[in-house]
Amino acid sequence: MSTTIQKNTQSIKHQPAGLFEETRYEKIHNVIFSDANSASIAVAKEIAELIRTKQAEGKNCVLGLATGSSPVKVYQELIRMHKEEGLSFKNVITFNLDEYFPMQKEDIQSYWHFMHKNLFNHVDILPENINIPSGTLGKEEVRDYCYAYEEKIKQAGGIDFQLLGIGRTGHIGFNEPGSNVNSITRMVTLNKVTKTDAAHAFGGYKNVPSKAITMGVGTVLAARRVVLLAWGASKASIIAKTIEGEVSSQIPATFLQEHKNTTFVIDETAASELIRNKTPWLVGDYDFNNKNEEEIARAVVWLCERLDKTILGLREEDYLENGLGVLLEDTSAYDLNIRIFNRIQRAITGWPGGKPNADDSYRPEREHPHKKRVIIFSPHPDDDVISMGGTFDRLVEQGHEVHIAYQTSGSTAVADTEALRFVEVAHDMLLGKTDVSHLEKVMQILKNKKQGDKETLDVWKLKGNIRRHECYGATRYYNVPDENLHFLNLPFYETQAVEKQPIGEADIKIIEDLIREVKPHQIYAAGDLADPHGTHKVCLDGIFAALERLKNEDYMKDCWVWLYRGAWHEWDVHEMEMIVPMTRDQVLRKRQAIFFHQSQKDGAMYMGSDMREFWQRAEERNSDTANRLHKLGLAKYQAMEAFRRHFF
């Protein structure tokens, strides 16, 4: 990550031009934090200061509030300040942005439920001061209700501080693409991408309401202060378009460029696509002298792809005419090209565990010991084969002792229909041979289950067992002994619901104990941080915490940690430190291993907006990596998996 990133841990307030680190490309004031937690604390601090200022003036403080994962940590910090610092909410009036329609208050997916669970039940706000759009209206009542909601905001004196998140379509509230800049509170039809992103909370896309009531863009722009939150790589693209692009109704958040007191508070990954971070040499004078070789490689790869040239095909004028002449101050284009080409080429290896009896001076992995103990950590029961199935296969084939640690049961991602199919097969096989009343009870639960119902323990275990035995199918195909599979069932995940807990001591201890037991020479872990609130991130945090505790153990001095990416993204070329090529036969073996995870095939519950099956995503990603490297002048391979080393 570029050192030009501003890690502001104090004020986020909009400052006069020139006092913050925006570039000529950026049209909205933004502050970048190293992580969502510190950013959320800063936002909560500003809200608390506003509440206290209004209290001192004897006035109400009118807050516009958002739902979703982005503001949760802000609300947690406000609750902490209420309990520990005496922050009172008695003078606070709140107006929430939106609500699904139709939606009962008591439903766990309702924003009424969300706000009371995450804030209102824990502070001293007066119930009559809470305003959340109603999802229980008759359709004939909606129009008048929306006008009344607008009028109530005006009677309260207008919104002093509006908190926002942003959807991948650029929606704010539920103002989808096409929304008018002057729109007010109204009923809207939800975009397909928005519904897809909400599918995990509703147990599938088909259960997500198609409509919602939302404040309008005009309502938001009327607020005296606006702060928008965005965390994670999944928001990086839309954040860049919103901050740097033109104002367009197709990206409603761009209307905030016209607001005089708006700040985007984002973390490093959400800021990664901004020009100042992605290609900082385009912004102004950029000192490569203080950068490592990876940063230089990033610039060279960018130049190749910009000009559609190989690394060895770049000429001096290419560097000079594209703002990278500074790279040639102490070297020639020829020598720089050779250096970067060799850096990438040396990362390519068919021996991910190290090649025995070979000079390892320029290889990504050590020769010794020839036979390594390996732990592959898999957040979900299929991430091991989806994300690194070819490398997994190679490690086993080359004689290493491979252990797989499935960190969660994956129960959430098994559809009720899939679970019912399995239990009906078991029932029919056992009928007349033993008591099947328990199976019949589970069958009835599944048949009568309604959307939003919490899983019973029996159904949760059934779904976990389905995924566990799918793992056995894949690993037996790869010739891994059953005793090398470790089903950790980390407690943070085992809530019998979509919503999970934060990583805790019990989770870390389980991971720590496994590492201590195996004493690995290699650890592979999912480094895909596209969603900082997602399972991959939580699982990785648990591994890092365990490594921190174990780092002084003698055996850990010989342990290297390699991070792989998930089904959606690959490491960028300059980040790749080990690249494992695959033949066509190995690609087909990887596909077969993924197929053993049958409950996730065809109609997996959480596909996201990408409707390709997981094996298709994996193959296309691996093929794209190989093609991208070939265009840079490297040898042509069928497919490739890439890894980045983590130092602890």
CATH number of the domain at 407, please. 3.40.50.10320
In a domain, 508, yes or no: yes
Same domain, 551 and 593: yes
Contacts of 550 (CB under 8 A, 6+ apart): 512, 515, 516, 556
Give yes or no: residues 155 and 211 share one domain.
Answer: yes
Q: In terms of domains, do 546 and 620 share one?
A: yes
| Whether residue 562 sits in one domain with residue 496 | yes
Q: Is residue 20 part of a domain?
A: no
Structure tokens at 323: 């703002």
pLDDT at position 20: 41
Q: Is the dihedral of CA 384, 390, 391, 394 positive or negative?
A: positive
Are residue 310 and residue 441 in the same domain, yes or no? no
Any domain includes 407: yes
- pLDDT for 2 equals 31
How many structural domains are present in the chain? 3
Question: Is residue 494 pLDDT above 60, yes or no?
Answer: yes
pLDDT tens for each residue of 90-108: 999 999 999 999 999 989 8
For residues 476 and 341, state if they share a domain: no
Give a yes or no: residue 323 inside a domain: yes
Angle (nearest 5°) at CA 384 between 379 and 390: 160
On whether both 262 and 308 belong to a single domain, the answer is no
Specify the higher pLDDT residue, 273 or 3: 273
State what percent of residues in the chain have pLDDT above 90: 84
Which of these, 536, 534, 559, 578, lies nearest to 349 by C-alpha position?
578
Q: What are 404's strand-pairing partners? A: 376, 485
Question: Which of 617, 610, 614, 618 lies closest to 586, judged by CA?
Answer: 618
What is the rounded average pLDDT of the residues 38-48? 97
d(CA 376, CA 383): 10
Give percent above pLDDT 70 in the chain.
94
Distance, in Å, from the CA atom of 82 to the CA atom of 509, rounded to the nearest integer, reads 32
Record the tokens describing residue 324, joined without a space.
């990278």
Average pLDDT over residues 598-605: 76
C-alpha dist (Å) from residue 452 to 104, 136, 417, 497, 599: 12, 17, 15, 9, 20
E strand spans, 310-394: 373-378
User: Are both 269 and 399 inside the same structural domain?
Assistant: no
Radius of gyration of the chain (CA): 27
From 246, 273, 300, the end of a domain falls on 273
Domain identity same for 390 and 419:
yes
Residue 298: inside a domain = yes
Question: pLDDT digit string (tens) for 196-249?
Answer: 888 878 877 888 999 999 999 999 999 999 999 999 888 999 999 999 999 999
Fill in the amino acid letter for 307: L
617-644 tens-digit pLDDT:
999 999 999 999 999 999 999 999 999 9
1 found inside a domain: no
Give me the pLDDT at residue 13, please.
64
Judged against a pLDDT cut of 70, whether residue 130 lies above it is answered with: yes
pLDDT class of 497 with cuts at 50, 70, 90? confident
Domain end position, chosen among 273, 298, 324: 273
Residue 24 lies in a domain: no
pLDDT of amino acid 3 = 29
The pLDDT tens digits of the residues spanning 519-530 come to: 999 999 999 765
Q: Does residue 326 fall inside a structural domain?
A: yes
Could you confirm whether 575 is annotated as catalytic?
no
Cα separation, 1 vs 299, whole angstroms: 13
What's the pLDDT score for residue 604? 59
pLDDT tens, residue by residue, 56-89: 999 999 999 999 989 999 999 999 999 999 999 9
Q: Please tell me the predicted confidence (pLDDT) of residue 91.
A: 97
Residue at which a domain ends, from 255, 273, 291: 273
- Catalytic-role residue among 176, 455, 512, 641: 176
Q: Which residues have C-beta within 8 Å of that of residue 475, sequence separation ≥ 6?
A: 404, 482, 484, 485
Q: Is the pLDDT of residue 4 over 60?
A: no
Residues 495 and 520 in one domain: yes
Quick one: average pLDDT of 103-128?
Answer: 96
- Write the CATH number for 213: 3.40.50.1360
Residue 219 shares a structural domain with residue 293: no
For the residues 248-271, what does the mean pLDDT come to?
A: 96
Domain housing 508:
373-602+615-646
- pLDDT score for 214: 98
Q: What is the mean pLDDT of the chain?
A: 92
What is the per-residue pLDDT for 202? 84
pLDDT of residue 375: 98
Beta bridge partners of 92: 61
Q: Is the pLDDT of residue 118 over 70?
A: yes
Query: Would you tell me how many other CB atoms lie within 10 Å of the CB of residue 330?
Result: 10
pTM above 0.85, yes or no: yes
Is there a single domain that holds both residue 419 and residue 488?
yes
- What is the pLDDT, as a whole number, of residue 608? 55
Which of 121, 108, 131, 111 has the alpha carbon at shortest distance from 78?
Answer: 121
